[in-house]
Amino acid sequence: MRLLLVCYWYAPFVNPRTFRWGAVAERWAAQGHHVDVVTVGVPGLADREVVNGVHLHRLREGFLGRARSMFPASGPPQEAAQAAAVREPARLRAARWVYGHSWRKVYWPDFACLWYFAARGAALRLAERAPYDGVVSVSDPFTDHLVGLALRRRLRRHRWVVDFGDPFSFLEHTPTNNHALYGRLNVRAERAVFREADAVAVTTGPTRDIYAGLFPEAAGRIHVVPPLAPALESVPPHPPVFAGAGRVRLVYPGTLLRAIRDPGFLLRLFEALQRTRFADAAELHLLGTVGDCGSFFEPYREWIGRKVFLHGRVVREYAVQAMREASVLVNLGNDTPYQLPSKILEYAALGKPVLNLVKSEDDSSARFLAAYPRAQSWVDSRGPLDPAEVERRLEALLATPVPGAGDLPWLEAHGPERIADEYMRLMTGRRSGAAHPTLTGAA
């Protein structure tokens, strides 16, 4: 089959869409399918390249499209990240304010809107040169689906599968555009995509149910394809990240966002830990951007660089090595019932103890991790934390046995091969009847 993937995020970006669709595209290519990927350009990389059998077509953005990446909340050097997390330089704060109060207020449907024109043109040229059997568009950004919609309306010879990594019109905590201006337009555009698509894939049952209510005419074409458990053994090796023995390292690899995923509960818990027998050994490591959460670290400024380590953006190999060396992996539940952090599949695959910090017992990650024996979900009561209780629960978590081979059979449903095959069934119109046990409870 000839297949086209419209996916703004692709390697070398560190992004859930990159890991998921890189694995799927490479599996399809290994099976003998011709796979073209229309993706965003990367400075220093060729515009046309074949990587692991996948044909990449990288399309560059203009200045406004690149602007968001010019204002990182923290950078790769650890020392820069430590400082930026608490107090950004005035020029950076000013630039961020201007961007957030000008272009970000008016673009539609999202930051990638100007990339649409290059992506649409390239996709049409590729499809007219040699017709495709199937097209997949992936969000976020939603712009990818508008490229897919343009292809569908121009060329109706292929099957079109739409994949939502995150929802669009009802994503209120972290909206992709100005909902006050574009709320109705968002729904109209999304309805057009659902109407034209042959199949729609989402990652959780709650997302499917919300979309089925919004667009009942398309309910029968909405399918759950669960989160991917990346093949971590394929990640290139990296030198040790941490130095020193006898430490209890709590590691959180991920982006912080005040609206849905702030570090407040984690920092209060770590503060309580300083009044236990773990005080001298405990370290907290955060890998990823601090985003708009710098103020949460102000009360703990004296700990930064000594007990609390902010590593900033890191490469994939660094993050995986840090996770392997962690004593406990931390998950911060999304403050939304329909989104499931993809990283918890990696946590389970590594067999590590997982400290899952959530704001309600109905959190999707708490339901998911109920099937994982080395996880504890702690609900934030917003009140003071009892150090004795924190110590007791951490001791119990550290004492949980490592899962043996075959102890987590449900992980197989999240492997790259199974996920790629599920999408291929949607592409060919033959849907598997197999249930995904880990998502039944989340539905």
Q: Respond yes or no on whether the N-terminal peptide bond of residue 216 is cis (omega within 30° of 0).
A: no
Query: How much is the pTM?
Result: 0.81
Give the pLDDT score at 284.
Answer: 97
Percentage of the chain modeled with pLDDT above 90: 56
Is the pLDDT at 430 greater than 70? The verdict is no
Q: Confirm or reject CATH 3.40.50.2000 for domain 2-61+112-228+415-440, answering yes or no.
A: yes
Residue with tokens 């990346």: 230
pLDDT band of 191, cuts 50, 70, 90: very high
d(CA 46, CA 162): 27
Is the pLDDT at 157 greater than 90? The verdict is no
In the chain, which residues fall in CATH 3.40.50.2000? 2-61+112-228+415-440, 232-398
pLDDT band of 100, cuts 50, 70, 90: low
Give the pLDDT score at 105.
Answer: 85
Q: In angstroms, what CA-CA distances link 197 with 137, 168, 190?
A: 10, 16, 11
- The 10s digit of each residue's pLDDT in 369-386 is 888 889 999 998 888 899
> According to the 3-state scheme, what is the secondary structure of 320-367?
HHHHHHCCEEEEECCCCCCCCCCHHHHHHHHCCCEEEEECCCCCHHHH
Residues 6+ apart with CB under 8 A from 35: 3, 4, 5, 25, 28, 29, 53, 54, 55
Give the pLDDT score at 429.
Answer: 84
Q: Which of the two residues, 316 and 194, has the higher pLDDT score?
A: 194
Q: In angstroms, what CA-CA distances link 277 with 273, 274, 387, 416, 428?
A: 8, 8, 10, 42, 58
| Architecture of the structural domain at 232-398 | 3-Layer(aba) Sandwich (3.40)
Give the pLDDT score at 89.
Answer: 59
Both tokens assigned to 332: 């911060």
User: What element of type H or E holds 39?
Assistant: strand 34-40
Beta strands in 361-429 (DSSP E): 375-379
